Amino acid sequence: MIKEKFDVMGMTCAACVAHVEKSVSKLEGVNSVHVNLLNNSMTVSFDELKLGADIIEKSVSDAGYEAHIQSAEASSATNFYSKIENIKDEQKKMRTRLIVSIVFLVLLLYISMGHMLGIPFPAKIDLMEHPLLASLLQLWLTLPIIYANRRYFITGFKTLFKASPNMDSLIAIGSSAAFIYGLFAIYKIWTATTHGDFETMMKFSHDLYFESGATILTLITLGKYLEAKSKSRTSDAITHLMDLAPKTANVIRNKIEFELPIEEVVVNDMVIVRPGQRVPVDGQIISGSSSVDESALTGESMPVFKDKGDTVLSASINKSGSFTLRATKVGDDTTLSQIIHLVEEASASKAPISKLADQISAVFVPVVIGIAILASSVFFFLGYPFDFALSIGIAVLVISCPCALGLATPVAIMVGTGKGAEHGILIKSAESLEIGHKIDTVVLDKTGTLTEGKPAVTDILVSSIVNQQQLLEIAASLEKPSEHPLAEAILMEAEKQAISIKPVENFQAIPGKGIEGTIDGKKYVAGNLKLMTERNIDLLKFASLADKFADEGKTPLYIANESEVLGIIAVADVLKPSSIEAVRQLQALGLNVVMLTGDHAKTAAAIQSQLGISQVIAEVLPQDKDKEISKLQASGKIVAMIGDGINDAPALTRANLGIAIGAGTDIAIESADIVLMRSDLMDAVTTLRLSKAVMQNIKQNLFWAFFYNIIGIPLAAGVFYEMLGWKLNPMFAAAAMSLSSVTVVLNALRLLRFKPSISELSGITQNNK
**Residues forming the active site:** 445
Task: Write the CB contacts of 143 (distance below 8 Å, at least 6 apart in sequence).
Answer: none
Contact call for residues 251 and 257 (beta carbons, < 8 A): yes
What residue type is assigned to position 320 of the chain?
A: S
For 238-289, give the DSSP string.
HHHHHHHS-SEEEEEETTEEEEEEGGG--TT-EEEE-TTPBP-SEEEEEEE-
Contact call for residues 284 and 325 (beta carbons, < 8 A): yes
- Distance separating alpha carbons of residues 509 and 484, to the nearest angstrom: 9
Residues in the chain: 769
H or E stretch including 410?
Answer: helix 402-422
- Distance separating alpha carbons of residues 37 and 430, to the nearest angstrom: 14
- Distance separating alpha carbons of residues 641 and 653, to the nearest angstrom: 9
Sheet holding 30-36, edge to edge: 30-36, 41-46, 2-9, 66-69
H or E stretch including 326?
Answer: strand 323-329
- Strands 505-510 and 514-519 turn out to be antiparallel
For 418-430, give the DSSP string.
HHHHHTTEEE--H
What is the number of H-type helices and E-type strands within the chain? 28, 26
Contact call for residues 375 and 718 (beta carbons, < 8 A): yes
CB count in 10 Å sphere of residue 623: 9
Contact call for residues 621 and 599 (beta carbons, < 8 A): no
Q: 6 φ, ψ to 5°?
A: -125, 145
Strand partners, 508: 516
- Distance separating alpha carbons of residues 163 and 155, to the nearest angstrom: 12
- Strands 592-596 and 615-617 turn out to be parallel
H or E stretch including 194?
Answer: helix 167-195
Contact call for residues 457 and 476 (beta carbons, < 8 A): no
Contact call for residues 627 and 477 (beta carbons, < 8 A): no
Could you tell me which of 711, 736, 18 has the C-alpha nearest to residue 354? 18
Q: 240 φ, ψ to 5°?
A: -60, -45
